[in-house]
Structure 1
Amino acid sequence: MKEMRLIVDPPARGTWNMAVDEAILRGAVDLEMPTLRFYAWSEPTLSLGYFQKYNDRQQHEASVDCVCVRRASGGGAIMHHRELTYSFVAPVRDSRSEETTRWFDRFHETLIKVLANWQINAHLSGKPHASSQQEPFLCFQRRHEVDVIVDDNKICGSAQRRHQVAVLQHGSVILQQSPCAPELLGLEEITGQKISAEMLTDLWKDALKTTFQSTYIQMPLTDKEVESAQEIESVKFAHPDWTHKR
């Protein structure tokens, strides 16, 4: 079986979370193994998709006073609050291969199986109907065929960032409704069941281990990755030029 590094991090500021993901991506070839990371956010944080305009956040009143970061991946804005975030990074020979695109299916299908442990009936969205309307500001009000749906509510979506020799995929699962995004229901409001981030992490990581036919190595960030993340946070994710670049 292949080895995979597993990291379960405590809540951290948004700029650090994004910097760590990128540091792992940049060092993936040197590490020579995939990294699966689960993490949370130390305060309600709005993350903009790479191509979104910063001023567009003004259209979402509930989150206007929240800290804001810009992701390196595309898609709509995400309110990181009362949810679980994961990232998966692996060195690849071809970042555009069908195998890396299938990561969406692997993660979302295993999540569906895990939710069945709580008798929650989740499914993939399937190809959405074509619409001429502008896509909503919030990611969880958008629909893509691999999104995870429960009772017509999107509860998980993911995005990828590709380097030539490595790929980062990260995504979020809404566990509870946030007052900073009240239009989005979480699993607790939809199903009446309170599922903690720890409970979901424990079952999901076991399912992913089977799916990827891997064994986990509990290994923290290397010194080189920590130094890289500190620099990336300073010059990129915590810098106004990056956050306000569009």
Structure 2
Amino acid sequence: MKLSSALETLAIDPHAPIDIARVALLIARDAYSQMNPRVYLRRIDRLADQLRPRLRGSLAARTAELSTFLFEECGFAGNTENYYDPRNSYLNKVLDRQVGLPISLSALAMAVGTRAGLNVVGVGLPGHFIAKVVDGNEEVLFDPFNGGQFLDIEACELLVSGVTGRPFEATPDALAATPPGAIVARMLQNLKTAYLADRSYTRAARVTRRLTQLVPGDATQHRDLGVLLVRAEQPGRAIDPLRAYLRAEPQAEDARDVERFLTQALTEIARWN
């Protein structure tokens, strides 16, 4: 599977059944071109093989086994010391370094748990990402970033309020499984944010181009791609996405700013010629 094909599939149907781990590793290959996703998928398979015989008893007991295995015995943990390190978002580096972000650790739990026979899904909360194991009408929420600790409704509300500084009501809709397309979009957005913080414009543009494939109707991603390419001194590649934004949003408040970036790109190209 190629990443572009997976993103196009999710653009058409955000709920399409895909292997999040496989897509996450394809995203990582954009940054680590020599990395072989199959090697890491086999590592995930081996983790699942170790876990599978231990999954007995109630749903809570099986979820506890998953949590204990990954976050105590294997040592995977949230990177609280360097949260915005881009490596925290790449699943291959999470497996290598055993630290990651809430969403990448949740993706790992989903991959290992699902392969071992559990129904593990991701739950995107405001400012945080968790996972849950579902069996019929029963579900157990847990927080991969914080040692896999179990969460009830009140704990979810306190967690989000603590992160965002705003009240949060953990309704059933708020705790529903996040569709695969939205998970991948959030992974890419995290990378984009991390690279922007470092002013790594070329890398941020690479990730943003993937976002334009995943959410082609989001004009702001085309705008951001064009601006990033100008800043990365790639004016030739900036023209199409900037024009696409202006066509889609001619009355946007930032239209004049975008026009200035477009003029800058055209001027730089003319200077080269």
TM-score clears 0.5: no
Normalising by structure 2, we get a TM-score of: 0.26
- Of structures 1 and 2, the one scoring higher in RCO (CA 8 A, sep 6+) is 1
Structure number, greater radius of gyration? 2
Q: Quick check: which one's helix share is greater?
A: 2
Normalising by structure 1, we get a TM-score of: 0.28
